[in-house]
A and B are shown apart, each in its own frame.
Chain A
Amino acid sequence: MQLLNTFLIGLTAGAIYALMAIAFVLVWRSTRVVNFAQAGMALLSTYFGYEAVSRLGSFWIALPVAMIGGALFAALVEFTLMRLLVKHASSGPIAGVAPIIATLGLLGVIKSVVTMIWGGQDLVIVAPISNNGFKINETTTLVFSPLKLFILVVVLILLIILTILFQKTNLGLALRASAHAPEIARLSGIRVDAVRTLGWALAGAAGAVAGLFQTVNGNGNFSPDSTEFSLLLVSGFIAAVIGGLDSLLGAVLGGLFLGIAISFVLMYVSSGLFFIAPFVILLLVLFLRPQGIIGVKVGRRA
């Protein structure tokens, strides 16, 4: 029973990491940037969601509000910051690290501004459906709850929607073309810049869902300094790397794998390894299978 519980807890946590990983992959595919501000955007979107819940009283309205807010903000960032970055800092010794530094700076800006507006104290978003475990019979209760089931279903649906978008629509074709061969895409009439902004917007929405779910899946508390968002940043990135950083399916599998692996380490090794376990798993993956579990041809050195 403990084994099953550990697995199910890990699966849910992994689904949230997968959402974050999807956000990383979308940004990476559209602009070849790892967006370290992703966690900050998720945080900001969670505050959007909080405002919606407290004004309109429903989580079901808050979810789309946070998604739209996150998407608009991400699009704005791409439209201003990233375009300026390409224009100004694409040569010299800084070129390789400029995007990393800029997104980290953005992370700091978002965190400071959020704390200025909403304060540093814990705020609460109440879970819309019960987080009490399913009862198997009179004596045993699973840790797995309707809320966790809901999270898994939503992640699955989002993955399906995104896959259809990327594989079956013209827009998806434009997204893929701009990522792989921007020059040729531009020549064939695709507005690459607009497509890139769209990629960021999609990532912003995915990150918003991750932020909200991470909050309600925990105790509902969140604050700008909560470790939840640092964990979300690191785990999302690691999940994306495990998946090869270029594949949506890889990101989801990577997230689930990471969530389950961490859950087992915490249960059977030591619960104090909360933060170091992802790092060790990342190192193992990078050494054993550097191309990610969904193989891509280009190595990490590219």
Chain B
Amino acid sequence: MHKSKKQSTHIPLFILGGIVLFILSNFIEELRVLQGTTIAVYVIAISSIILLTGYSGQVSLGHGALMALGAYAAALLRFEFNVPIILCFIAAVLVAAVGGLLLGLAAARLSGPYLAGTTLALAIGLPSLANQFSILGGEQGKEFKVGPKDPDPDAVATVAGESLTVLGKILSFLGKLMETFAIGAWPDASPVTTYKWWFWIAALAALISMWSVRNILNSAYGRSWRAGRGNEVAAQLAGINTARSKVLAFTISAGIAGLAGALLAMTIGTVSPSAFPLALSFSLLTGAVLSGISTLGGVIIGSVVLVAIPEIADVVAHRLGSSESVTTNLPGLIVSGLLILTVLFVPNGPVEQHRARKAKHEAVHNSTKK
């Protein structure tokens, strides 16, 4: 494969992306910042699906449940023990990864529809378990507040505060820099709002996880997953322990999903069973298919589409002047319809489709030259 030739890890690229996002976040309106946060969360969640389904060939309809696992872990630590936020997110990754390991052990024995059905049962079953334990807060859920100005006078607030002052310094430095180059005045009056704070956390997490996933997929693990997906027997003959590599893929994917779950809970403010419905697992799958199930680079397409669909649906419904029941269900219809259409007509995703067409075109071109 052409991908495996690239040895660079692209660290500068990701750092540059982070800086661009950071500057951008200071120029756009609050609502867009919140949407940016949601996009970042989807990017993380969808990349976990792409890793699992596109590369390792396993289907999971239970990633909503794994996200819930991570979210509950983070919220519990935060609410009961007041653990620093960063540790909450790390715990979310670890707990979800352990859940994924257990599920993966079962999954390695299953294939295709069996695995899909099993994870589907999990997605329906697991969130309802939260009602069984009072510490998880039942249907109301568990509070999970993350903000720049933490009212509690504890260590977390000072940590947040300190990082804020550092950010502030960078901010003013950037502002001066931009004034010097006459790009435009830095919007100095803009304070660090909660939305911005969320966006920075989510965008940073998205960049880090995208970077990790990209490098994992290009490593020996990623290649062994693709080999196992392509032809399991051949992969085994080549010395790959396909069962173990499948379990590993599930564990890593679950850990990433757990991070996404904790971030999603952050934007909602609480963790409750209803925050992780079956529809969430489905829309993640839709996002992955729209991105191109085995193209990590396309993940931004799927995430943006998922966030944009409700807005587009809203506009369309208003144009048509339709009733409320149509308006509320149009996004779901569009998501599902897109899912079917994509599978039918662009089965391997827009990026891959374009690449294939280009390759074909070049092949034709070369043959005519001769």
A139 within 8 A of B: no
The residues of A that contact B106 with a CB separation of less than 8 Å are 283, 286-287
The residues of A that contact B120 with a CB separation of less than 8 Å are 36, 233-234, 237
**Residue of B121, B328, B329, B347 touching A88 (CB-CB under 8 A):** B347
Q: How far apart are the CA atoms of A102 and B335 in the complex, in Å?
A: 12
Q: Verify B332–A111 contact, CB threshold 8 A.
A: yes
A181 within 8 A of B: no
Q: Tell me, rounded to whole Å, the shortest Cβ–Cβ distance linking A86 to chain B.
A: 10
B114 within 8 A of A: yes
A105 within 8 A of B: yes
Instruction: Fill in one digit per residue for B329-370: 1 if any A CB lies within 8 Å of its CB, else 0.
Output: 110110111111001110110001000000000000000000
Q: Verify B128–A93 contact, CB threshold 8 A.
A: no
**Residue of B59, B121, B343 touching A85 (CB-CB under 8 A):** B343
Q: Verify A101–B343 contact, CB threshold 8 A.
A: yes
Q: Tell me, rounded to whole Å, the shortest Cβ–Cβ distance linking B322 to chain A.
A: 9
The residues of B that contact A112 with a CB separation of less than 8 Å are 329-330, 332-333, 336
A129 within 8 A of B: no
Q: Verify A276–B348 contact, CB threshold 8 A.
A: no
Q: Verify A302–B285 contact, CB threshold 8 A.
A: no
**Residue of B61, B109, B129, B332 touching A104 (CB-CB under 8 A):** B61
Q: Tell me, rounded to whole Å, the shortest Cβ–Cβ distance linking B310 to chain A.
A: 13
Q: With A104-B282, A105-B286 as given contacts, are A275 and B124 in contact (CB-CB < 8 Å)? A: yes
Q: How far apart are the CA atoms of A249 and B105 in the complex, in Å?
A: 30
Q: Verify B336–A105 contact, CB threshold 8 A.
A: yes
Q: Which of A113-121, A172-180, A203-211 contacts B (4 or more CB under 8 A)?
A: A113-121
Q: With A34-B113, A34-B117, A108-B282 as given contacts, are A275 and B128 in contact (CB-CB < 8 Å)? A: yes
Q: Verify A272–B116 contact, CB threshold 8 A.
A: no
Q: Looking at A106, A116, A233, A273, which has the most chain B CB atoms within 10 Å of its CB?
A: A116
Q: Verify B339–A282 contact, CB threshold 8 A.
A: no
Q: How far apart are the CA atoms of A283 and B131 in the complex, in Å?
A: 22
B110 within 8 A of A: yes
Q: Verify A93–B336 contact, CB threshold 8 A.
A: no
Chain A residues within 8 Å of chain B by Cβ, number: 57
Q: Tell me, rounded to whole Å, the shortest Cβ–Cβ distance linking A99 to chain B.
A: 8
What residue of chain B has the Cβ atom nearest to residue A270's Cβ? Answer: B132
Q: Verify B333–A274 contact, CB threshold 8 A.
A: no
A152 within 8 A of B: no
B168 within 8 A of A: no
The residues of B that contact A85 with a CB separation of less than 8 Å are 343-344
Q: With A97-B53, A98-B343 as given contacts, are A120 and B325 in contact (CB-CB < 8 Å)? A: yes
The residues of A that contact B129 with a CB separation of less than 8 Å are 275-276
Q: Name A242-277 residues within 8 Å CB distance of B.
A: 270, 272-277
**Residue of A120, A231, A282 touching B118 (CB-CB under 8 A):** A282
Q: Name B88-142 residues within 8 Å CB distance of A.
A: 106, 109-114, 116-118, 120-122, 124-126, 128-129, 131-132
B214 within 8 A of A: no
**Residue of B126, B326, B347 touching A98 (CB-CB under 8 A):** B347
Q: With A106-B336, A302-B111 as given contacts, are A97 and B125 in contact (CB-CB < 8 Å)? A: no
**Residue of B59, B111, B116 touching A301 (CB-CB under 8 A):** B111
Q: With A93-B54, A116-B326, A230-B278 as given contacts, are A279 and B121 in contact (CB-CB < 8 Å)? A: yes
Q: Verify A96–B54 contact, CB threshold 8 A.
A: no
Q: With A116-B326, A283-B118 as given contacts, are A109 and B340 in contact (CB-CB < 8 Å)? A: yes
Q: Tell me, rounded to whole Å, the shortest Cβ–Cβ distance linking A259 to chain B.
A: 15
Instruction: Fill in one digit per residue for A103-141: 1 if any B CB lies within 8 Å of its CB, else 0.
Output: 011111101110110011000000000000000000000
B289 within 8 A of A: yes
A1 within 8 A of B: no
**Residue of B59, B117, B124, B330 touching A230 (CB-CB under 8 A):** B124
**Residue of B109, B128, B333, B343 touching A290 (CB-CB under 8 A):** B109
Q: Verify B344–A88 contact, CB threshold 8 A.
A: yes
Q: Verify B333–A109 contact, CB threshold 8 A.
A: yes
**Residue of A115, A276, A278 touching B126 (CB-CB under 8 A):** A276
Q: Tell me, rounded to whole Å, the shortest Cβ–Cβ distance linking B295 to chain A.
A: 9
Q: Verify B117–A109 contact, CB threshold 8 A.
A: no
B145 within 8 A of A: no
B229 within 8 A of A: yes
Q: How far apart are the CA atoms of A107 and B124 in the complex, in Å?
A: 15
B264 within 8 A of A: no
The residues of B that contact A108 with a CB separation of less than 8 Å are 279, 282, 332-333, 335-336, 339
Q: Tell me, rounded to whole Å, the shortest Cβ–Cβ distance linking A217 to chain B.
A: 20
Q: Verify A119–B336 contact, CB threshold 8 A.
A: no
Instruction: Fill in one digit per residue for B274-305: 1 if any A CB lies within 8 Å of its CB, else 0.
Output: 00001100100110010001100000000000
Which are the 6 A-B pairs with shortest beta-carbon distances? A108-B336, A105-B339, A34-B113, A112-B333, A105-B340, A276-B125
27 interchain pairs, CB-CB under 8 A: A34-B112, A81-B344, A85-B344, A92-B352, A93-B348, A94-B348, A97-B53, A100-B59, A101-B285, A104-B282, A105-B338, A105-B339, A105-B340, A113-B329, A115-B329, A116-B330, A230-B278, A234-B117, A276-B126, A279-B118, A279-B122, A279-B124, A282-B117, A286-B110, A290-B109, A300-B114, A301-B111
Given contacts A105-B336, A106-B340, A301-B109, 11 further A-B contacts (CB under 8 A): A102-B340, A104-B282, A108-B279, A112-B333, A119-B325, A230-B124, A270-B132, A279-B124, A283-B106, A286-B109, A300-B111
Residues of A within 8 A of B (CB): 28, 33-34, 36, 81, 84-85, 88-89, 92-102, 104-109, 111-113, 115-116, 119-120, 230-231, 233-234, 237-238, 241, 270, 272-279, 282-283, 286-287, 290, 300-302
